Amino acid sequence: MGVSEQRLSVFPAFFKVANAVAVVFGNGPEAFAKTRLLRNTQARIVVYAEAPDADYAAYLTEHDIETVARSFAPSQVEDAVLVFAATGNAELDRAIVRAARARRIPANAVDQPDFCDFYTPALVNRAPIAVAIGTEGAGPVLAQMIRADIDRLLPRTLGHLAQLANSYRAAVDRLLPRGLPRRMFWRSFFKGQVADAVASGDVHDARRRATRLLKDAVNEKTEGRIFLVGAGPGAEDLLTLRAHRLLMECDVIVHDALVPQAVIDMGRRDATRIPVGKRKGCHSKTQDEINDLLVELGREGKRVVRLKSGDPLVFGRAGEEMAALREAGVAYEVVPGITSALAAAADFELPLTLRGVASSLVFTTGHDLHGETLPDWARLALSGATVAVYMGRSNAASVAGRLMASGLSEDTTVAVVENAGRRDSRLMHGTLAELPALEARDELKGPVMVIIGDAVAGGNFTRSEPLRGTIASLAPFERT
């Protein structure tokens, strides 16, 4: 199961506990820890402890926490909304949980997963903002490490900013329409001058700036914008920070078929997703239909991420879409991505340019090899340029044949990568003379990159299989 398909065995949720009873049983450090955790909330804490440790007893007294010095009786959980069994006696803790479950009250027994209806998280408290980190009981120390990292990232004034935001929420809901106008207002609120004023402790100035921001938002006309975004070769962690931010902000994601679902899922959960995929021999929409769709969405005032595999400007037909948007007067922006040739070179650790060997690089699809005249890029290959061929499997024979017929040595090194940049990439190497056999490899279902040139010989072939070998024996290259 891939990372994007893994599922939790628990459902993360926040219980409403204000003024409700939460019960803790125990005298020692585990009970102390649960009580401290509950102290982050507005719950009414009741502790059952006959002989609490000295530091625990001092804490209970200092914070005026209700403490009952009695041994356990099932009736003690009667009015609780949460129960923590932390006595250090495993059998007693199980009895406490059974009593709670009989009354349908969620309970947690320390260090006994089968007797936990919920797990207590590592908590970062910026009330009313809370970040809870859970590991399903597998790694409490890891959860605490993550908590420390997040705690350093979040400003101490974040809670004050959230409280200020709550005081404006009704006005924002009344004055700004749903969707982009509200999202843009709140983004400016939480990241701009209002947040800066709160961080400096000047709440009066923060309110003044927030009011001005809302007035400006009410008077501003919402204009659509199309972002032509490169999704890279397909690995989620090769997506740029800007691309990820736009995916989290957009109203609509218009995506190609070659963009993996894991990358699409990085977008806003409630964003509309529209597949317009074009694969060889199977087009769900024509390019004109895609152009018309982008124009229509832009005129509706939508913020649209047009998500393209690799880089939009490298065989991504972005030129036609930009021309259509310009003609329609719809604003757009291009966000570059990592093109597959660069990812393939990284997989092979091969230099695309190499001092004294190759000083130029050509990107091509090879489709222009069918005429009588040798294309300019093919002549560059003869002079030592590295050639990266996109969609290389279907053109392998024609590329190799024309280059060898024009004088490029049949011993020129060739690197082939399926699914470049991904965890399931497949690497093969060989010579130009062996390249035509690639067309018969129907097992290669993913996009294939072919890199040709003397510089390719500088790559690392320890993870690669020879082209003359059988593809069935080739195990995927797993990244660590």
Residues labelled as active-site residues: 256, 278
Nearest to 77 by CA among 49, 48, 52, 114: 48
Q: How many residues are given for the chain?
A: 480
Distance between CA atoms of residues 232 and 238, nearest Å: 6
Give 240-247's long-range contacts (Cβ < 8 A, gap of 24+): 240/335, 240/336, 240/337, 242/335, 243/305, 243/335, 243/337, 246/303, 246/305, 246/335, 247/271, 247/305, 247/307
Beta pairing, strands 107-109 & 80-85? parallel
What distance in Å separates the CA atoms of residue 248 and residue 269, rounded to the nearest whole number?
Answer: 8
Concatenated DSSP letters for 397-435?
HHHHHHHHHTT--TT-EEEEEESTTSTTBEEEEEEGGGG
Say which amino acid occupies 262: A
**What is the Cα–Cα distance from 69 to 299, expressed in whole angstroms?**
69
Q: What is the C-alpha radius of gyration for the chain, rounded to an integer number of angstroms?
A: 30
Asked whether 206 and 198 are in contact (CB, 8 A), the reply is yes
The Cα 46–Cα 53 span in angstroms is 16
Q: Quick one: how far is CA 158 from the chain centroid? A: 23
* Interatomic CA distance for residues 329 and 209, integer angstroms: 33
Please give the full DSSP string across 253-285, using - where no structure is assigned.
EEE-TTS-HHHHTTS-TTSEEEE--EETTEESS
End-to-end CA distance of the chain: 16
Query: CA-CA distance, 386 to 362, in Å (whole number)?
Result: 6
Distances (CA, A) of 191 to 92, 130, 371: 50, 18, 56
SS3 116: strand
CB 459 within 8 A of CB 415: yes
